[in-house]
Structure 1
Amino acid sequence: MPGEYILPAALGRFQELHPQVIAKLEIADSTEIGQLIMDAKLEAGMIGALLDNPLLCQEHIADDELVVIAASQHHLADERSIILENILEEPLIVREAGSGTQLVIESKLKEKDITPDRLNVRLELGSTAAVVNAVAAGLGISLVSRFAVKNRINSEDIAVLDIEDLPLERGLYFVTRRDQVISPLVESFYEFLKEYLQLYPSH
């Protein structure tokens, strides 16, 4: 999610301040980003869930929240909030298993003693944008970052719902290798990104 909805605009703003910088953005799920950093193919990344890897330095950089989205014509669309049982009953569109979103969802369900096989998964997609578009097309409901839909909350194709009995707050993390000294440029971008995310929250 960060690679689709946060970093492009943040990098654009950073380049306005530092026009000599040429950026390369790799978009992948949180697990893959962590592995690319471990393999020294990336110097740093931004992920949507803490990874179980003590060799990674994962700095909390912003707060986020997952919300339920449904097509505007869906029978839940007129509800201001729903309960977990509604999600278990509905056809669900999800991200792939290694994504930060899925890691958070599975962790939150585990706290409620609910296993992932209770979910009525109908479609698994490799990007949050694809998930949002599939929901808008009426293929099912989903849980996505509020960052991903903040510009579509008042749109006519999707409805954004809160869950009463399943808090879905999460952190976003800036990740590097613990045994590697990051470059001054990455350090500068990290400091910029913290300030940028305070000015442009998900809500």
Structure 2
Amino acid sequence: MNLDYLATYMELVKLGSFSEVAKRLSISQPAVSFQIRKLERDLGVRLLDRGQKAITMTDAGKRLLRFAEVVTTEEARLRSDLDRLRSEVSGNLAIIASTIPGEVILPPILGEFKALHPAVGVRVDISDSLAAIEGVRGGNYELGFCGVAPQGRDMEYFKVAEDEIVLIVFPEHPLAGRDRVVLPELEGEMLILREERSGTQKNLEALLGKAGVDIRKWSPSLVLGTSQAVVAAVEARIGIAFVSNLAIRKSLALGLVKEIPINGLRLVRSFYCVYRKERAVSRLVTEFIAFVQARASQG
């Protein structure tokens, strides 16, 4: 059944004149007559009695009018629902992140995004930076957040935040009372490091390498799997460490660790959002990328 013909029928019942309906709908009067006859043929009943002075509905016509009113209301509701669906961002977002983005940078971003789009579901798996890149490259995740820029033309990325890798010691350490230190003073210290695949470790080695220092030759050392584990080891007075300043805010505030500047050296690195270049992305991913970019541009 043609919904446009139903609308024409409703207008005819309302106005009581074929010519008036033709004017209202901007169609010809024969077109109005054709649509009504087509409805009658399709339904196998006469809908209207056409008198010289008035048009009256038959019993079948009255039933069709009630049906048409219900259909029109439901069609309007459906269109409204579909419009809302088109404008609403929904779906599930799979993200993989290295520890600092996953534990520090992403939570407030996701909180704000979820407040704007409550129908969105998000899963964040935390690993190291290389695993984040590999997870996105392999198609297991739509987005990755990590401390290493991906290599290869198949990946896109943009900077999300900047961070500084800093030296921390426990409060009773002999260096804790110093305003600053020089790198050679750290040789022979128990140095607590991240694993090789960590973005923090890769950036630390690269930045110190530019200063002529190969940290891998220092010993003794302890290697741990997360930034929080490294900070906890320093708090436990096991040794000293280079960590993200984003990872030590609470420990600094509580006086559990002490940050010591290194003379003439700042270890600054970036965090990135990464995604596959050629992968068709959903509206949800597009909206989230735009949201993160806008937030990053605000500092």
Whether TM-score is above 0.5 comes out as: yes
> In the comparison of the two structures, how many residue pairs are matched?
200
What secondary structure does 1:6 align onto?
helix
Give 2:235's aligned residue.
Answer: 136
* Map 1:78-89 → 2, pairs under 5 A: 78-89=177-188
Shift of 1:103: 0.7
1:55-103 Cα shifts (integer Å, max 9, x gaps): 2212112211111111111111222322222333321111110111011
Deviates more, 1:78-87 or 1:128-137: 78-87
Pick aligned residue for 1:21 from 120, 124, 131? 120
1:114 aligned onto 2:220:
no
The runs of 5 or more residues in structure 2 that have no matched partner are 1-99
Give 2:257's aligned residue.
Answer: 158
1:167 aligned onto 2:280:
no
- Cα contact 1:84–1:166 (8 A) shared by 2: no
Give 1:50's aligned residue.
Answer: 149
| Distance change (3 Å), C-alpha of 1:176 and 1:114 | same
Shift of 1:151: 3.1
- Cα contact 1:84–1:165 (8 A) shared by 2: no
Give 1:177's aligned residue.
Answer: 276
Give 2:193's aligned residue.
Answer: 94
Give 2:12's aligned residue.
Answer: none
| Distance change (3 Å), C-alpha of 1:18 and 1:96 | same
What secondary structure does 2:272 align onto?
strand
More helix by share: 2
Partner Cα distance (1:92, 1:19) in 2: 44
Partner Cα distance (1:190, 1:148) in 2: 24
Shift of 1:157: 1.0
The answer to which structure, 1 or 2, has the higher relative contact order (CA under 8 A, 6+ apart) is 1
Structure of greater Rg:
2
Shift of 1:12: 2.3
Give 1:66's aligned residue.
Answer: 165
The runs of 5 or more residues in structure 1 that have no matched partner are none
Shift of 1:119: 2.3
Shift of 1:118: 2.1
Shift of 1:114: 2.6
What secondary structure does 2:216 align onto?
helix
Deviates more, 1:41-50 or 1:173-182: 173-182
- Cα contact 2:150–2:274 (8 A) shared by 1: no
Shift of 1:156: 1.9
Give 2:287's aligned residue.
Answer: 188
Give 2:244's aligned residue.
Answer: 145
Which amino acid in 1 is paired with 2:278? D
- Cα contact 2:168–2:240 (8 A) shared by 1: yes
Shift of 1:121: 4.7
Pick aligned residue for 2:175 from 73, 76, 95? 76
Partner Cα distance (1:73, 1:55) in 2: 49
- Cα contact 1:10–1:193 (8 A) shared by 2: yes
Pick aligned residue for 1:126 from 225, 232, 237? 225
Percent identity for Structure 1 against Structure 2: 32
Which amino acid in 1 is paired with 2:186? I
1:39 aligned onto 2:138:
yes
CA RMSD of aligned residues (A): 1.9
Shift of 1:48: 0.9
1:5 aligned onto 2:104:
yes
TM-score by length of 1: 0.89
Which amino acid in 2 is paired with 1:186? V
